[in-house]
Structure 1
Amino acid sequence: MDRVHSVSGELPTSEKSRVRRGAKRASYRREEIYPLIDELKLGHVGFSENGEAIIIPLTVWRLGCFLYFHVANKSRLQKLIEAGGQVCISFARYDEWVLSKSAFHHSANYRSAVLFCRGERVCGQEEFDAVFKAIINDIEPDRWEQVRAPNLQERKGTALIRLTIEEGAFKSRTGGPSENKEDLTLPVWSGIKPAL
Structure 2
Amino acid sequence: MDTTNHFGPELPATAKSRIRRAAKRASYQREVVYQLVDELKLGHVGFIQNGEVVIIPLTVWRKRDFLYFHVANKSRLQKLVDAGETICISFAQYDEWVLAKSAFHHSANYRSAVLFCRGERVHDSREFDEAFKVIMNDIEPDRWEQVRPPNIQERKGTALMRLTIEEGSFKSRSGAPTDNKEDQSLTVWSGSVQNSVSFLYH
**TM-score band (shorter)?**
over 0.9
Query: Distance between the aligned counterparts of 1:17 and 1:179, measured in 2?
Result: 30
Does residue 1:187 correspond to 2:187, yes or no? yes
The aligned counterpart of 2:29 is 29
Report the alpha carbon displacement of residue 181 of structure 1 after superposing the two structures with TM: 1.1
Point out where structure 1 has 5 or more consecutive residues left out of the alignment. Answer: none
For 2:112, the aligned partner's letter is S
Q: Where in structure 2 are the equivalents of 1:44-83 lying within 5 Å?
A: 44-83=44-83
The aligned counterpart of 1:123 is 123
For 1:160, the aligned partner's letter is L
User: Which runs of 4 or more aligned residues in structure 1 lie more than 4 Å from their structure 2 counterparts after TM superposition?
Assistant: none
* 8 A Cα contact 1:8 1:31, kept in partner: no
* 8 A Cα contact 1:11 1:169, kept in partner: yes
Report SS of the residue matched to 1:105. coil
RMSD: 1.0
The aligned counterpart of 1:177 is 177
Report the alpha carbon displacement of residue 31 of structure 1 after superposing the two structures with TM: 1.1
Bigger Cα displacement from structure 2, 8-17 vs 104-113:
8-17
Report SS of the residue matched to 1:20. coil
Query: Distance between the aligned counterparts of 2:5 and 2:127, measured in 1?
Result: 16
Q: Per-residue CA shift, 1:79-98, capped at 9, x if unaligned? A: 00000011000000001111
Report the alpha carbon displacement of residue 190 of structure 1 after superposing the two structures with TM: 0.4
For 2:39, the aligned partner's letter is E
The aligned counterpart of 2:199 is none
Report SS of the residue matched to 2:141. coil
Identity of aligned residues (%): 72
Q: Where in structure 2 are the equivalents of 1:124-143 lying within 5 Å?
A: 124-143=124-143
Report the alpha carbon displacement of residue 8 of structure 1 after superposing the two structures with TM: 5.3
Aligned residues: 193
Report the alpha carbon displacement of residue 7 of structure 1 after superposing the two structures with TM: 7.0
For 2:58, the aligned partner's letter is L
Report the alpha carbon displacement of residue 182 of structure 1 after superposing the two structures with TM: 1.2
Report the alpha carbon displacement of residue 6 of structure 1 after superposing the two structures with TM: 2.8
For 1:59, the aligned partner's letter is T
For 1:185, the aligned partner's letter is S
The aligned counterpart of 2:163 is 163
Query: Distance between the aligned counterparts of 1:164 and 1:112, measured in 2?
Result: 18
Q: 1:7 to 1:63 in 2, by over 3 A?
A: farther
Query: Distance between the aligned counterparts of 2:58 and 2:169, measured in 1?
Result: 20
For 1:37, the aligned partner's letter is V
Report SS of the residue matched to 2:146. coil
* 8 A Cα contact 1:7 1:64, kept in partner: no
Report SS of the residue matched to 2:84. coil
For 2:180, the aligned partner's letter is N
Normalised to the residue count of structure 1, the TM-score between the two structures is 0.96
The aligned counterpart of 1:14 is 14
The aligned counterpart of 1:150 is 150
Report SS of the residue matched to 2:142. coil
